[in-house]
Amino acid sequence: MSGKPIKFWTDGVPVEPEALRQLQNTAQLPFIFKHIAVMPDVHLGKGSTIGSVIPTVGAIIPAAVGVDIGCGMIAARTSLVAADLPDNLHGLRRAIEQAVPHGKTFGKRDQGAWNDVPAQVDAAWRPLAERFRRITAKYPRLEKTNNRQHLGTLGTGNHFIEVCLDEEQRVWFMLHSGSRGVGNAIGTLFIELAQADMRQHLANLPDRDLAYFQEGSRHFDDYVEAVEWAQDFARQNRALMMQTVVEAARQRLHRPFAAELEAVNCHHNYVQREWHFGQEVLVTRKGALSARQGQLGIIPGSMGAKSYIVRGLGNPESFCSCSHGAGRVMSRAQAKKRFTVEDQIRATAHVECRKDREVIDEIPMAYKDIDAVMAAQRDLVEVVHTLRQVVCVKG
């Protein structure tokens, strides 16, 4: 099969045949720069493979960026230590669940227990609002989305909030979320527009979800602007939720403490212009982190495994990237068929979390071994802190 090379950081971890075929399809596109870099958490995605780094020149693939634009992680070390936490952590979990809108039923602040929009949400929305108006002036369909309403909310699926302990028993807060409903709408709209623009060429693509915008085409600049806005929304969304989690913990624990003694806020579904091998290229990270020399990042395991704060080694062959997590080894549907509530209870015995049928798709066994994933990328990152979960709130 012709196309650009594909370089893998997957020694010791499985790569499903479907994901390999998907990578080969992407590598055939004429504007791929040098090679595609594949991270150890690689698995099948929609359009492009999750856990891949796709450098391009003169074109961008909306489905490679995906619909969870700007999804990523934020973590903050506090001045608390394990001894400051109560023996029973159920109350702390419930305090976080009550403070942060999450899940299918309570996905936005105008439902359920979250009727009041905090002042900090309004403050965070103001710098986003004018840019959003410019985008919706051209694409009015995006006005009818949950945008401001979703700011400061977690979402569903694999999005989560955790309380963790590091190797010195210091308490960290960590969460995973992105640009929510409005990011999904932006991604969906521009994927459709790319396919419509390329309708006569779709038959020549290895996958219709690889439809792309060429630089200088009608929607290219608008898409770049909308993606950058969604990425900023996602970063603000995580920061707002972190503020809420810290405040909820202070009230529940009845003690003051410092937060953000160490802090990281990073995307892992996004695109941006970068310099690599002496040339400016568009780098799409589909489930991958930027790992420039000295740059901090977060690589979470499953809800029953370890997570890591890492420092990038700036490996040029990976386009200065690393994995964004453990990566799934089976679909959500497969996990729900294979495992039971009793399996979930056993796998998360050491974590204060929900243990019911609705979260079986997130059972630790549905994910790759995080230790194997970290071993496969020793030349991409170094571990700064090892975290273990003691509380997990799922979306």
324 classed as catalytic: yes
Contact between 312 and 322 under an 8 Å Cβ cutoff? The reply is yes
The string over 34-54, giving b where at least 16 C-beta atoms fall within 10 Å of a residue's C-beta and e elsewhere, is: bbbbbbbbbbbbebbbbbbbb
Residue 278 CB-density burial (10 A; 0-12 exposed, 13-18 middle, 19+ buried)? exposed
Please list the residues that pair with 243 across neighbouring strands: none
Contact between 343 and 365 under an 8 Å Cβ cutoff? The reply is yes
Contact between 392 and 352 under an 8 Å Cβ cutoff? The reply is yes
Dihedral of the CA atoms 338, 106, 64, 273 (nearest 10)?
Answer: -140
Catalytic residue among 102, 267, 324, 385: 324
Residue 100 CB-density burial (10 A; 0-12 exposed, 13-18 middle, 19+ buried)? buried
List the 269-276 sheet strands across, edge first. Answer: 6-8, 36-43, 50-56, 279-286, 269-276
Q: Which residues are catalytic?
A: 324
